[in-house]
Chain A
Amino acid sequence: SQQGEEDPQALSIQEGENATMNCSYKTSINNLQWYRQNSGRGLVHLILIRSNEREKHSGRLRVTLDTSKKSSSLLITASRAADTASYFCATDHGGAQKLVFGQGTRLTINP
């Protein structure tokens, strides 16, 4: 299976702290994407990083990609209660626009 793995499965931090989530995958990629899912809702796209990029920023989000280690990390700085959600990485391994999703990290921000 090409499915990636996310680490940790669950993370609980205090509001204002930084949250880091990791994603590993098994085969080469075109790009890697991160999505957020609020409880019981659909997924929302956060950021896309291509295989020739090493780092990307969007607001309080910072994504890194290390293709030699087949891994990526998502950093959320200065966390807020509204960041409480599940976060998924998804990898494009080429062909037909398909993505392979990881199992997700459940992030809880405590006020």
Chain B
Amino acid sequence: DVKVTQSSRYLVKRTGEKVFLECVQDMDHENMFWYRQDPGLGLRLIYFSYDVKMKEKGDIPEGYSVSREKKERFSLILESASTNQTSMYLCASTITGGEFTGSYEQYFGPGTRLTVT
């Protein structure tokens, strides 16, 4: 079974702190994603990575950065946490689909609920 783990289930940080959220997958997936989930807004893509050291911005990258030094690990960084970054953060991974098959299912971690005070 694919397993995606996230470093913390709950996290409380102060405004202005630098925050690291870690995600690790154990199935050698090429693609990894960071989403945030807010009530009424569904899941929104922050950043994704399709290979080591490769990254692309998603729909809401402002205030975030990412790092992917190893294939299994994808980190989300909040350079200076703000209260509007209080949210549930979800990491996911998937293999690379083909031109005619499209994407495959994404495997999600349990989520990190971050509160910035």
Contact = CB atoms under 8 A, between A and B. Distances in A.
Interface of A: 3, 30-31, 33, 35, 40-45, 48, 50-51, 88, 90, 92, 94, 96-99, 101-104
6 shortest interchain CB distances as A-B pairs: A30-B102, A42-B108, A45-B105, A103-B42, A101-B43, A92-B103
Sort chain B's interface into a size bin.
20 to 34
Contacts of A44: 108
A96 B40 contact: no
A44 to B, nearest CB: 7
A45 to B, nearest CB: 4
Given A43-B90, A44-B108, A96-B50, A88 B102 contact: no
B48 interface: yes
Given A31-B102, A40-B111, 4 more contacts: A48-B105, A98-B45, A99-B103, A101-B44
| B interface: dominant SS | strand
Given A42-B90, A96-B56, A98-B48, A50 B111 contact: no
A99 B106 contact: yes
Contacts of A104: 42
Given A42-B4, A42-B108, A42-B111, A88 B103 contact: no
Contacts of A88: 42-43
Contacts of A102: 42
A50 B100 CA distance: 10
B103 A31 contact: yes
